[in-house]
């Protein structure tokens, strides 16, 4: 201080800067390295020393572990980063992984950032989830109901006991799998979120945070997506380490499925590009489309195709599926096997309640199975097809429409044979008939195209 007085530097400015830096470092070590501090601001005597915590931080980031706050250490500490601790997760509210592989997410109403258009945010978040979908056996579906596994929101002050700190500093944080706030992902709305190189790229940060929401911890590898500090967008965002870690975490779903590799890969899966490929049932499920074949299913999304036993995607369902349809406003898939009806909840990825008989829909007693079913979102009707006839079920009133069954060939010109499966997309009904698919314009009432069924699997 005596030397500073003679140099013309304001001593008090230096003292204030020093104290500010020390408090910042103290808070950093407290948040990310579990530095224990008593209410009066003293470190706990029984806990690790301040210096040892500095060393822990330096070791984590591959710095020279001296315990001294040198320029390299301070530079890393001042870098924008994730709010999840490096040495201890939010363990008191976390599980280790989701015990399923169809995981839902949704946005809290009014909690979008104002930095980007909503459709851009939706696209970037979906792309961030796709990073992990491509690397694993997981499927991510956006939910529009009240509940979801992962809740996404942009906030400033919020009540989860882990406050944000304004621009830069902590960018976002996420809780690991579990009930309550488990999986929830928060982005600091004081940051400048972008889709490019300037500000903070939402896709990059979201992909990192969703790794935490799936149960991954921070990595010491600078090439890893799970490295704590922010990195600008790059070509290979996810590393081989990230891929290995996510698959090790969810190995329960992989190890139990002999279809993944080698000679145990079922013949049914190997021949998915057979020109005579047929499906038992097809249904959308959120943003994905599921193709059922015997006891196996293909899950097709915008970014990837996954395949395996039905139980891998829908626990407790061990039978083949004859017909399936999806009612978006209920977030429920209806699966039919013979005379048995099952309800699959998208929000919980579980079978709901006990199986029911087809008579639940009001079918006459002689109907013991159906060939295909499809829900038309626009009319809120579900159509059931059986041989050469079909029924129309009113989902609002939950009764069969009057005057049914009717002949398929009369109401759907060009469809003159038994239907294997149906699915409704963007105003068209797709009829799967043997190895072919008929694209049917539901408004104009005629077939507008024919293609191979296996083309839907990328063949």
| Residue 276 assigned to a binding site | no
| Residue 160 assigned to a binding site | yes
| Residue 226 assigned to a binding site | yes
Q: How far is CA 118 from CA 8, 155, 156, 367, in A?
A: 53, 15, 18, 47
Of the residues 89, 126, 153, 209, only one is catalytic, namely 209
- How far apart (Å, rounded) are the C-alpha atoms in residues 272 and 169? 49
| Residue 184 assigned to a binding site | yes
| Residue 165 assigned to a binding site | yes
| Residue 215 assigned to a binding site | no
- How far apart (Å, rounded) are the C-alpha atoms in residues 321 and 369? 11
| Residue 182 assigned to a binding site | yes
Q: How far is CA 91 from CA 95, 177, 207, 316, in A?
A: 8, 10, 21, 30
Beta strand 170-174 pairing with 81-82: parallel
| Residue 86 assigned to a binding site | no
| Residue 188 assigned to a binding site | yes
Residue showing tokens 């470092």: 25
- How far apart (Å, rounded) are the C-alpha atoms in residues 44 and 162? 21
| Residue 186 assigned to a binding site | yes
| Residue 196 assigned to a binding site | no
| Residue 82 assigned to a binding site | yes
Q: 209 an active-site residue?
A: yes
| Residue 173 assigned to a binding site | yes
Residue showing tokens 């000679």: 263
| Residue 158 assigned to a binding site | yes
| Residue 144 assigned to a binding site | no
Could you list the residues known to form a binding site for Zn(2+), using ranges: 82, 158, 160, 173, 186, 208, 212, 218, 226
Could you list the residues known to form a binding site for Ca(2+), using ranges: 115, 149, 165-166, 182, 184, 188-189, 191, 280, 322, 324, 373
Could you list the residues known to form a binding site, using ranges: 82, 115, 149, 158, 160, 165-166, 173, 182, 184, 186, 188-189, 191, 208, 212, 218, 226, 280, 322, 324, 373
Q: Which residues are catalytic?
A: 209
């Amino acid at each position: 201080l005596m030397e500073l007085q003679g140099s013309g530097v304001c001593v008090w400015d230096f003292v204030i800067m020093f104290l500010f830096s020390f408090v910042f470092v103290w808070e950093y070590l407290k948040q990310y390295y579990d530095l224990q501090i008593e209410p009066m601001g003293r470190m706990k005597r029984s806990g690790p020393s301040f210096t040892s915590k500095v060393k822990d931080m330096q070791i984590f980031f591959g710095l020279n572990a001296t315990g001294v706050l040198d320029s390299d250490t301070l530079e890393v500490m001042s870098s924008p980063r994730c709010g999840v601790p490096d040495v201890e997760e939010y363990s008191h509210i976390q599980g280790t992984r989701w015990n399923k592989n169809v995981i839902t997410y949704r946005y809290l109403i009014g909690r979008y950032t104002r930095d980007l258009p909503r459709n851009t945010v939706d696209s970037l978040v979906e792309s961030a989830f796709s990073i992990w979908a491509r690397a694993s056996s997981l499927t991510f579906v956006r939910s529009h109901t009240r509940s979801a596994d992962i809740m996404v929101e942009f906030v400033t002050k919020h009540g989860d006991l882990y406050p944000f700190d304004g621009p830069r500093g902590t960018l976002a944080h996420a809780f690991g799998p579990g009930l309550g706030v488990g999986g929830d992902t928060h982005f600091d709305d004081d940051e400048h979120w972008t889709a490019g190189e300037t500000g903070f790229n939402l896709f990059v940060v979201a992909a990192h945070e969703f790794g935490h929401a799936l149960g991954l911890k921070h990595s010491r590898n600078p090439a890893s997506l799970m490295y704590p500090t922010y990195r600008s967008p790059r070509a290979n965002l996810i590393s081989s380490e990230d891929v290995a870690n996510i698959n090790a975490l969810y190995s329960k779903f992989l190890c139990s499925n002999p279809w993944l590799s080698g000679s145990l890969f079922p013949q049914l899966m190997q021949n998915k590009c057979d020109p005579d490929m047929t499906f038992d049932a097809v249904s959308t499920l959120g943003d994905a489309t599921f193709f059922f074949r015997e006891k196996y299913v293909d899950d097709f999304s915008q970014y990837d195709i996954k395949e395996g036993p039905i139980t891998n995607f829908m626990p407790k369902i061990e039978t083949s599926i004859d017909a399936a349809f999806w009612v978006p406003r209920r977030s429920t898939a209806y699966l039919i096997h013979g005379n048995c009806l099952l309800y699959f909840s998208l929000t919980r990825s579980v079978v709901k309640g006990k199986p029911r008989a087809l008579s639940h829909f009001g079918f006459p007693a002689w109907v013991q199975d159906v060939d295909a079913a499809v829900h038309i979102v626009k009319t809120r009707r579900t159509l059931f097809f059986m041989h050469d006839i079909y029924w129309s079920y009113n989902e609002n009133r939950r009764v069969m429409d009057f005057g049914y069954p009717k002949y398929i060939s009369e109401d759907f010109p060009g469809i003159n044979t038994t239907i294997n499966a149906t699915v409704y997309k963007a105003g068209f009904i797709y009829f799967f008939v043997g190895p072919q698919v008929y694209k049917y314009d539901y408004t104009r009432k005629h077939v507008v195209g024919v293609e191979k069924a296996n083309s839907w699997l990328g063949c």
